């Protein structure tokens, strides 16, 4: 066992058995690198990340490579969900260096923590047209030893560039024209054929859809509603939405929303639940209610801690290294075997279950998506609509029961404060829009737990709750703007729902802490951390404005 065995992160403990002498993030690792004059190999990933596990299996579990790494590097592994402050800074640095980022993030640092080389996934032997990991590291190590001046110059230049990039805000005049410009830019990025923004890969952008709905409500311009509704319907009918179990996968690899990366994230589903609940309240479209109910059902079945309150962080895409969404996909034989003849005839047409599936690793595997409407099935099969709906409901129930018998992807039960606050607020909104008081009760239970186990006087809300349920988080648990802002926003929503003044008091207390510890008195806006402290690039302060990928912490703080 390396030094990750005592960590609380599921991603870190999953690597505790590896022969690499991994260190958790912290000053101790940097001190060891300085004492030995070794570069640092930084790996940033997540438990839900498929390619992180691939690289673990291919490289970090190889005993020969591990022995070489242990000799020449100080190795540090970071969970990007647990330390978004670390991830944000090193992602930006590697993006500036290579033009790309993502997970796993692989960065080579000086002993002071400055990046001088980086990338994402590296294969062990140069497959996929990418350089082999060992050969890359050998060249980097040679550069570190023989061209130290060049290495340190690169690191200094990158650090200066990073400090500029981390401040996303800019001064300007506020005017209604900004709203028009925002809507116009969204229109230019809109995919008129399939909905959504951009091409492939295609990510949900619920904040953009919410903005367009609100803008349509204000102006009445039909095209605003058209963009929002085409996007909502495209996502709802695609494989990016789990047609059997409910909830959304993280994104679609194709422009049609059909083939997803199968991990399901709490933060995505929180914002999408709010979006579909608000769309249902606005337009009354039954499909939007159905999707919102599906997100709730998935949460209640998979993600909720019914006893204590709280939502899990994520559900993995895969069960093993050579799996690619097999839990969620179907061959024709698998689906046919659990359905009656009538159910199969309707289900295969509805969800496009045919011998030629969509998955590259196994072409027989089908991603279920809505290929035909109920009206089209009525015409094709010449049966009553009620009968079609009855058969679809029966098929969905049987497929769901059969799927539950498969080995299920891992669920990360970590309770992150910001994501839990987002989902609790979404459950409050859904409770109102759908008439689901059970949603509201569970949301309030979750928020009580966040306050009881999380709030630290003089500091605010930690990024995650301690696994043992104690109020005091471990030393490596950061206090971040996003957790204060999202918790305060959810407490305000709880006050609106209940009229209980305790929630307003709690929101006010967090707002005062945001102002005291995160506010930039000189230029305005909020920094993401309460101070420029910690190892490596954590001494550089960031002012996050963009949604990346959750709602902007500054926007949320401003709304609070």
Token look-up 């409500």 returns 217
Helix (H, G, I), strand (E, B) or coil at 218: helix
- The Cα 331–Cα 380 span in angstroms is 23
- Could you count the other beta carbons within 10 Å of the beta carbon of residue 111? 19
- pLDDT digits 0-9 by tens, 228-272: 999 999 999 999 999 999 999 999 999 999 999 999 999 999 999
Decide if pLDDT at 207 tops 80: yes
DSSP state string for 473-494 = PPTT----HHHHHHHHHHHHHH
Decide if pLDDT at 498 tops 90: yes
Token look-up 């129930």 returns 397
Phi, psi of 206 (to 5 degrees): -60, -35
Decide if pLDDT at 227 tops 70: yes
Lookup: tokens for 66: 């591990």
Decide if pLDDT at 375 tops 70: yes
CA R_g for the chain: 24
Q: How far is CA 18 from CA 26, 39, 75, 118, 411, in A?
A: 19, 20, 12, 22, 21
Contact indicator for 4, 16 with CB cutoff of 8 Å: yes
Q: What is the pLDDT of residue 469?
A: 79
- The Cα 498–Cα 440 span in angstroms is 10
Q: What is the mean pLDDT of residues 24-51?
A: 96
Task: Tell me the sheet residues that pair with 167.
Answer: 543
Decide if pLDDT at 474 tops 70: no
418: nearest Cα among 454, 464, 469: 464
Q: What is the pLDDT of residue 476?
A: 73
Decide if pLDDT at 130 tops 90: no
What's the pLDDT band for 125 if we cut at 50, 70, 90? confident
- pLDDT digits 0-9 by tens, 378-416: 999 999 999 999 999 999 999 999 999 999 999 999 999
Q: What is the pLDDT of residue 361?
A: 87
Interior/surface letters 411-433, b for 16+ CB within 10 angstroms, e for the rest: bbebbbbbbbbbbbbbbbbbbbb
- pLDDT digits 0-9 by tens, 107-124: 999 999 999 999 999 999
320: nearest Cα among 407, 253, 413: 407
- pLDDT digits 0-9 by tens, 284-330: 999 999 999 999 999 999 999 999 999 999 999 999 878 889 999 99
Lookup: tokens for 273: 């639940």
What's the pLDDT band for 473 if we cut at 50, 70, 90? low
Q: What is the pLDDT of residue 200?
A: 92
Phi, psi of 184 (to 5 degrees): -65, -40
Decide if pLDDT at 39 tops 80: yes
Contact indicator for 359, 329 with CB cutoff of 8 Å: yes
What's the pLDDT band for 509 if we cut at 50, 70, 90? very high
Q: What is the pLDDT of residue 477?
A: 86
Q: What is the mean pLDDT of residues 522-545?
A: 90
């Amino acid at each position: 066992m390396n030094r990750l065995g005592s960590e609380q992160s599921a991603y870190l403990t999953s690597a505790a058995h590896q022969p690499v002498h991994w260190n958790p993030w912290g000053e101790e690792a940097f001190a060891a690198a300085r004492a030995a004059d070794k570069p640092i190999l930084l790996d940033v990933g997540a438990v839900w990340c498929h390619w992180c596990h691939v690289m673990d299996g291919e490289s970090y579990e190889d005993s020969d490579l591990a022995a070489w790494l242990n000799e020449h590097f100080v190795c540090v592994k970071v969970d990007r969900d647990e330390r978004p402050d670390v991830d944000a800074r090193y992602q930006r640095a590697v993006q500036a260096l290579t033009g790309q980022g993502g997970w796993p993030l692989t960065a080579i640092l000086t002993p002071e923590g400055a990046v001088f080389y980086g990338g994402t996934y590296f294969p062990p032997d140069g497959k996929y047209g990418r350089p082999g990991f060992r050969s890359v590291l050998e060249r980097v190590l040679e550069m570190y030893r023989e061209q130290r001046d060049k290495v340190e110059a690169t690191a200094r230049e990158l650090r200066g560039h990073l400090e500029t990039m981390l401040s996303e805000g800019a001064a300007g005049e506020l005017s209604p024209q900004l709203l028009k410009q925002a809507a116009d830019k969204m229109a230019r990025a809109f995919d008129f054929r399939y909905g959504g923004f951009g091409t492939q890969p295609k990510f949900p952008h619920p904040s953009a859809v919410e903005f367009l709905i609100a803008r349509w409500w204000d102006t009445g311009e039909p095209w605003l509603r058209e963009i929002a509704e085409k996007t909502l319907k495209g996502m709802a009918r695609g494989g990016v939405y789990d047609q059997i179990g409910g909830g959304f996968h993280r994104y679609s690899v194709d422009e049609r929303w059909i083939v997803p990366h199968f991990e399901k994230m709490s933060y995505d589903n929180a914002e999408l639940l709010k979006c579909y609940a608000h769309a249902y309240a606005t337009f009354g479209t039954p499909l939007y209610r159905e999707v919102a109910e599906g997100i709730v059902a998935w949460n209640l079945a998979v993600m909720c801690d019914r006893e204590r309150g709280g939502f899990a962080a994520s559900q993995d895409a895969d069960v093993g290294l050579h799996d690619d969404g097999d839990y969620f996909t179907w061959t024709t034989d698998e689906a046919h075997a659990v359905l009656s003849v009538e159910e199969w005839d309707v289900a295969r047409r509805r969800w496009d279950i045919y011998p030629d599936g969509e998955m590259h690793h196994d072409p027989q595997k089908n991603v279920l998506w809505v290929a035909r409407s109920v009206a089209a099935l009525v015409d094709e099969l010449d049966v009553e609509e009620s009968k079609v709906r009855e058969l679809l409901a029966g098929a969905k129930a049987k497929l769901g029961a059969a799927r539950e018998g498969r080995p299920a992807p891992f669920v990360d039960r970590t309770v992150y404060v910001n994501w839990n606050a987002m989902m609790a607020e979404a459950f409050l909104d859904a409770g109102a829009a759908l008439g689901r008081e059970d949603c509201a009760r569970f949301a309030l239970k979750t928020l009580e737990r966040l306050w009881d186990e999380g709030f630290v006087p003089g500091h605010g809300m930690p990024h995650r709750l301690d696994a043992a349920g104690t109020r005091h988080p471990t030393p490596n648990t950061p206090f971040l703007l996003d957790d204060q802002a999202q918790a305060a926003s959810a407490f305000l929503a709880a006050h609106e729902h209940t009229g209980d003044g305790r929630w307003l008091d709690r929101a006010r207390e967090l707002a005062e802490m945001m102002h005291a510890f995160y506010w930039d008195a000189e230029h305005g806006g909020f920094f993401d951390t309460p101070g420029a402290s910690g190892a490596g690039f954590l001494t550089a302060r960031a002012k996050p404005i963009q949604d990346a990928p959750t709602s902007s912490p500054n926007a949320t703080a401003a709304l609070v």
